[in-house]
C-alpha cells in the first residue's frame, strides 16, 4: 500500500503519490499537526515513522520494544499524539509522543501482579522445508535463557486467511509462562505478516507449506535447546485447529500433547455448514476435481494413522459454535478414539452455551485454559507451582 493525495476540488484527477509502496505492510496513517505518522508491520511487529507531508521521513517514532502500536490520532496544529502499545508480556499501555522533542513517554499503564522484566521475548528466523525463512517469537523467563535451560513448551500457529499473529498480551499465556513454561508463536505462511505473497504461499494448492513451516518450527525448538525431547505441545484455534490436526497426522513423533480448538477437521464437507462456503477461497473447494485430492491429502479427520503412537490430544469445541460447527470436532475425536494410536488419551472437551470464542465470558475462559494448559503441563512435564495465598 502507498499514501497518495487527491485534489478535493477535482475528484476525478489522478492521485499523486506521497509515500511509495514498500515491502512492509502499511497498517495505518494519520495526520498529527502538520506531519504524518505512518505505522508499518515489519517482521510481525509495529514500527512507526514521522513523515513530512511531502513524504520525506523525519524520524522513527520511539516504541517501547517489540509489540503492536495503534492510535496516533491528531488534529491540525497538535504538538503531540497518543498511542496504545502492547507486547507479549505487557498489556496495552498508553504512550505520549511529542512531535517537537521526538520523544515518547509512558502516560498510563495498568497495575500488574508480575514483573514483565522477568521475561524475555526474542524473535528467531528458522528455515522451513523449502528453505524459506520463517519468523518465530519465543517467550520465556530470562533465567531459562541465561542458563540455557530447556523447558516444556507450547508452540502456537494459525497460518491462513491473511491473518497476522502480532504481539499482544494474553493473561492465559502468562499463566503458562509464570509456571516456568516456554511459549512460541510461529508466523507461518498463509498469514498476512509479509503481504499478499506470504498469504498466497500458504493457501489453496500451497497449504502444505503451512504444515511444513509448523513442523520445522517444532524441530527448531528441539534442536536449539528451547524444549526437551518429550516436552513440546502444540496449540491452534479454528484454522489453527486444522493446522494442529494435520501436523499431528504428519509427524506424531514430534509432539507430547496437542490442543486443537474449534478446528476445521473435515476438509471434504466444511463448505456445507454455516460460514464454511466462504472459506473455499483459502482452502479450495471439495467440489472441484483439482482441489479434492489436495484437501483429502491433509484433512485431519481422513488421515489419522492407526498403528502409530500419537501424542495426548485434547479436542475442544463449543455446542453452539456457528462458525466452525462442533460436528468437526465430534467426528475427529471419535475417529481418534476408534483408532489404535497408543496409550496416551484422546479426549473431547465441549463448552456448553458458548460459541467460536469471541466474547466468551472470563469465567469460561479461565475454565477452558485451566483444563487445556493443565493437560499440556501433565504430558510435557511442566511442574505446576501453587501460588501462596
**Length of the chain in residues, anyone?**
389
Please give the Cα distance from 347 to 378 (Å, whole number): 14
Please give the Cα distance from 297 to 60 (Å, whole number): 47
DSSP state for residue 226 in the 8-state scheme: S
Please give the Cα distance from 140 to 128 (Å, whole number): 23
C-alpha cell at position 150: 530447556
Close Cβ partners of 334 (under 8 Å, ≥ 6 residues apart)? none
Q: CA torsion sign, 213 to 219 to 223 to 226?
A: positive
Please give the Cα distance from 310 to 240 (Å, whole number): 19
List 86, 238, 316, 329, catalytic entry: 238
Which residue is it, cell 530447556? Answer: 150
Q: Which element (helix H / strand E) includes 183?
A: strand 182-186
3-state secondary structure of 81: strand
Residue 49: phi, psi to the nearest 5?
Answer: -130, 145
Active site annotation includes 104 = no
**In 3-state terms, the chain is what percent helix, strand and coil (to 5)?**
30, 30, 45
Which residue is it, cell 485434547? Answer: 314
Active site annotation includes 199 = no
C-alpha cell at position 229: 525431547
C-alpha cell at position 230: 518429550
List 164, 299, 356, 372, catalytic entry: 356
Pair 49, 40: CB distance under 8 Å: yes
Please give the Cα distance from 94 to 109 (Å, whole number): 6
Q: Which element (helix H / strand E) includes 197?
A: helix 196-200
C-alpha cell at position 105: 513517554
Close Cβ partners of 319 (under 8 Å, ≥ 6 residues apart)? 326, 350, 351, 352, 353, 354
By annotation, the residues acting in catalysis are: 238, 356
Amino acid at each position: 500500500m502507498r499514501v497518495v493525495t487527491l485534489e478535493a476540488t477535482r475528484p476525478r484527477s489522478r492521485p499523486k503519490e506521497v509515500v511509495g509502496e514498500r515491502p512492509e505492510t502499511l497498517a495505518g496513517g494519520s495526520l498529527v499537526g502538520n506531519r504524518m505518522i505512518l505505522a508499518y508491520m515489519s517482521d510481525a511487529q509495529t514500527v512507526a515513522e514521522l513523515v513530512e507531508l511531502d513524504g520525506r521521513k523525519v524520524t522513527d517514532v520511539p516504541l517501547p520494544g517489540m509489540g503492536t502500536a495503534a492510535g496516533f490520532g491528531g488534529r491540525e496544529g497538535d504538538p503531540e499524539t497518543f498511542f496504545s502499545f502492547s507486547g507479549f508480556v505487557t498489556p496495552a499501555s498508553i504512550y505520549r509522543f511529542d512531535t517537537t522533542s521526538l520523544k515518547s513517554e509512558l502516560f498510563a499503564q495498568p497495575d500488574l501482579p508480575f514483573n514483565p522484566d522477568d521475561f524475555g521475548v526474542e524473535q528467531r528466523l528458522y528455515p522451513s522445508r523449502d528453505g524459506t525463512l520463517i519468523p518465530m517469537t519465543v517467550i520465556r523467563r530470562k533465567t531459562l535463557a541465561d542458563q540455557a535451560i530447556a523447558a516444556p513448551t507450547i508452540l502456537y500457529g494459525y497460518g491462513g486467511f491473511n491473518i497476522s499473529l502480532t504481539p499482544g498480551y494474553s493473561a492465559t499465556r502468562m499463566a503458562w509462562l509464570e509456571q516456568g513454561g516456554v511459549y512460541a508463536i510461529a508466523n507461518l505462511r498463509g498469514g498476512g505478516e509479509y503481504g499478499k505473497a506470504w498469504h498466497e504461499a500458504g493457501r489453496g494448492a500451497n497449504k502444505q507449506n503451512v504444515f511444513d513451516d509448523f513442523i520445522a518450527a517444532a524441530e527448531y525448538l528441539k534442536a536449539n535447546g528451547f524444549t526437551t525431547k518429550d516436552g513440546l505441545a502444540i496449540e491452534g484455534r479454528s484454522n489453527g485447529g486444522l493446522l494442529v490436526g494435520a501436523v499431528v497426522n504428519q509427524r506424531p513423533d514430534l509432539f507430547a500433547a496437542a490442543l486443537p480448538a474449534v478446528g476445521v477437521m473435515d476438509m471434504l464437507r466444511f463448505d456445507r455448514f454455516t460460514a464454511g462456503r466462504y472459506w473455499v477461497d483459502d482452502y479450495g473447494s471439495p467440489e472441484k476435481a483439482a482441489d479434492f485430492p489436495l484437501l483429502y491429502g491433509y484433512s485431519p479427520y481422513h488421515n489419522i494413522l492407526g498403528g502409530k503412537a500419537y501424542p495426548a490430544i485434547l479436542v475442544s469445541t463449543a455446542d453452539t459454535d456457528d462458525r466452525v460447527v462442533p460436528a468437526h470436532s465430534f467426528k475427529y475425536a471419535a475417529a481418534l478414539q476408534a483408532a489404535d494410536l497408543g496409550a496416551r488419551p484422546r479426549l473431547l472437551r465441549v463448552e456448553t452455551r458458548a460459541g467460536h470464542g469471541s466474547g466468551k465470558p472470563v469465567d469460561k475462559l479461565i475454565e477452558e485454559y485451566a483444563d487445556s494448559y493443565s493437560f499440556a503441563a501433565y504430558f510435557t512435564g511442566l511442574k505446576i507451582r501453587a501460588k501462596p495465598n
